[in-house]
Amino acid sequence: MATLRIPDEGRTLIDAEAVASYLRGAGIEYERWEAARPVADDAPSDEILRAYTEEIERLKARGGYVTADVIDVTPQTPALETMLAKFNREHWHDEDEVRFIVRGRGLFHIHPREGKVMALEVEAGDLIRVPRGTWHWFDLCADRRIRAIRLFQDISGWTPRYTESGVDKRYEPVCFGPAYLPQAPDQG
Ligand SMILES: [Fe+2]
């Protein structure tokens, strides 16, 4: 279940309905999904996609998404730091960023045009839809592991466009969830 923090107010929301409602106010959709049938979080990608067919089709119809895939990030992912560095600075996309977390955790910071920056820590079972144009950035948690279904309208629209505001530097990319592991000094 996601945790939402509003660091500037020292507030933390942990109740799913409260999280969803706060995010809705900023135009961000958040849902919990139950798999139509149980699927192991390390199952092959096509099995994962099959297990969530109903939800994926519903989202596709609603948001005009045409493709879905599964991204798998682990500490062994080649060029992991380079990849992460593309997304941990404030940016936006010309298309929605839609992620359903299958395994692992991650931290989305959302910066509404009006209102406080919020830090949404997502985990397995969480669906987030960040509409196109929303300022945001993303970090992995210390275990550097996430597996997620992604939906795309047009894969070329997903290039990050940076605000260069420097706002991201003001917020610690720290996760507080149960899977939080202090990072060993020799890990990147
Ligand atoms: Fe993004």
How many angstroms separate the alpha carbon of residue 91 from the centre of ligand 1? 6
Residue 31 has a pLDDT of 93
How many angstroms separate the alpha carbon of residue 31 from the centre of ligand 1? 18
Mean pLDDT of the chain: 90
Q: Tens of pLDDT along 84-109?
A: 999 999 999 999 999 999 999 999 99
How many angstroms separate the alpha carbon of residue 112 from the centre of ligand 1? 14
Average pLDDT score over residue span 157-169: 92
With a cut of 60, say whether residue 179 has pLDDT above it. Answer: no
Residue 135 has a pLDDT of 98
How many angstroms separate the alpha carbon of residue 27 from the centre of ligand 1? 15
With a cut of 80, say whether residue 61 has pLDDT above it. Answer: yes
How many angstroms separate the alpha carbon of residue 97 from the centre of ligand 1? 6
The enclosing H or E element of 22 equals helix 16-25
Residue 178 has a pLDDT of 60
How many angstroms separate the alpha carbon of residue 151 from the centre of ligand 1? 13
Alpha helices by DSSP H, listed for 76-175, are 80-87
Average pLDDT score over residue span 156-183: 81
Q: What would the two tokens of residue 85 be?
A: 């560095």
How many angstroms separate the most distant Cα atoms in the chain? 46
Average pLDDT score over residue span 37-54: 91
* 178-183, long-range: CB < 8 A, 24+ apart: 179/104, 179/105, 179/123, 179/141, 179/143, 180/141, 180/142, 180/143, 181/141, 181/142, 181/143, 182/142, 183/142
Residue 38 has a pLDDT of 81
Instruction: Give bridge partners of residue 104 from the DSSP assignment.
Output: 146
Residue 111 has a pLDDT of 98
How many angstroms separate the alpha carbon of residue 108 from the centre of ligand 1? 9
